[in-house]
Amino acid sequence: MKYLKFIVILMGLLIFFGTSALIYIVLDKLFSKQTLIFPQKDELKKLQIGENSEIVNANISDDKLILVIKLNEGYKIIIYDLSSGKQLYFFETN
């Protein structure tokens, strides 16, 4: 009987802390002040994509825009910071 009481109290605490953690996570996501500024059209036009080139992949991770562009001779990877709207990194492979 004493083990049953211990198990019931333990399960009650797990339910309480689990529910409070879920509520905290949901409220934190709803009321976070993070804003994203997407790059202006002028900045995106500066990519200089050729006629035979294509955008292979575009990902948004946290506040970064990651573009993978297939050029005629290789690949180009460009990383934009969406919070400031500026280009952070530029990689070119052959």
Length of the chain as a residue count: 94
Mean pLDDT is highest, among 4-18, 19-33, 61-75, for 4-18
Amino acid at 84: S
Cβ–Cβ < 8 Å for 80, 65? yes
pTM, full prediction: 0.47
Q: Cα(79)–Cα(66) distance, rounded to whole angstroms? A: 5
27-74 pLDDT, tens digit per residue, is 888 887 766 566 565 555 455 566 777 888 888 877 888 888 887 778
Residues 19 and 25: beta-carbon distance below 8 Å: no
- Residue indicated by tokens 């049953």: 4
